[in-house]
Amino acid sequence: MHNWPGLIEAYRGWLPVSAKTPVITLHEGATPLIPVPSIAERIGKGVRVFVKYDGLNPTGSFKDRGMTMAISKAKEAGCEAVICASTGNTSAAAAAYARRGGMRSFVLIPDGYVAQGKLAQALIYGAEVLAIRGNFDRALDIVREAAEKYPVTLVNSTNPYRLQGQKTAAFEIVDALGYAPDWLCIPMGNAGNITAYWMGFQEYQQGVHNHKLPRMMGFQASGSAPLVYDTTVDNPNTIATAIRIGNPVNRAKAIDARNASNGAFFEVTDAEIITAYQFLSCKEGIFCEPASAASVAGLFKRKDEVPAGATVVCVLTGNGLKDPDCAINNNDAAFHTNLDPDLDTVANTMGF
């Protein structure tokens, strides 16, 4: 988008900022809403399907939307350091925006359970990374307590400014379509994003946009589905590391969004996630991280319930480059190695 100023300036009137707020931005937002005709064809019934590809934010995930707000407000309050627990994307965004704002960042991660691309980002942005023997939920407990006892600001999605920034994705969808979709399909981990989207759709409807509201369709991995089963999962397990969370802090708000929108929560298996992940790449040329593909996997699984002629938006929360190992281990591409370096060999291998 020409001269896009970042989401705080673009939607200033909808956000809790003032003239004294120092805007810390990497010009996040304005991510594309991409039509995906091969997915629409698979659903049938004249349905239109789009993906909101938030993997094209500056650090490669939707977390940048919330972090520009959280860090800007922390800077306004005179904060010098921020802290978060993360399965990867939050740590990357927190580290980048803290660095941009001249602040220190501390990130707690579950040791051995963060994709390489995300860990690399946190380190190169200069975060102080603390890997604990425990899962994300334990890490979150620790950072919440740390923020209460020490001079560090918590920037997980319990920070209300995070959701304020993330709600702008709903604004962008309505701005792009001219209306809200019938279904919004979204992956759920800590459930901040589904909460933020619902907030955004509601606020835009109540403001100058007299559109209908979408059904909020949330999807979790089978091995990490506390919202689907209304429970707590002590040892969540899924290939989709970004949503490997057993006790979502935004549980109540997400349930409210589901109920108020006449939406639903469903599980998808790791196999279904990988099938959708490969489908997006091979059929549409869109490379997302595994957790993102849960939204498309869920749409495929519930396709018989989609109304004829509906407009559906699937949220893709992160870029595929976040987790290169998953792509290398889950593809059907031909990879020819150890070839002689001459044209005849290459041409013969190509089938000419």
pLDDT, tens digit, for every residue of 285-315? 999 999 999 999 999 999 999 999 999 999 9
Which residues of the chain are modeled with pLDDT < 50? none
CA atoms within 13 A on the CB side of 5: 6
Rounded to whole angstroms, the Cα distance separating 34 from 315 reads 11
Residues 166 and 197: beta-carbon distance below 8 Å: yes
pLDDT computed for residue 209 by the predictor = 73
pLDDT computed for residue 115 by the predictor = 84
* Angstrom distances, CA of residue 298 to CA of 55, 61, 101, 265: 19, 20, 38, 9
Question: To 10 degrees, what angle do helices 192-206 and 251-260 make?
Answer: 50
Q: What are phi and psi of 48, to 5 degrees?
A: -105, 135
pLDDT computed for residue 112 by the predictor = 84
**Burial (CB count within 10 angstroms: exposed 0-12, middle 13-18, buried 19+), residue 259:** exposed
Q: Which amino acid is at 192?
A: G
Task: Outline where 44-159 has alpha helix (H).
Answer: 63-76, 89-100, 116-124, 136-149
Q: Which amino acid is at 4?
A: W
pLDDT computed for residue 2 by the predictor = 67
pLDDT computed for residue 114 by the predictor = 85
- 135 CB contacts (<8 Å, ≥6 apart)? 110, 113, 235, 236, 244, 246
Q: Chain-wide mean pLDDT for the chain?
A: 96
pTM for the whole structure: 0.95
* Angstrom distances, CA of residue 212 to CA of 170, 197, 205, 206, 294: 13, 14, 7, 10, 25
The DSSP code sequence of 319-332 is BGGG-HHHHHHS--
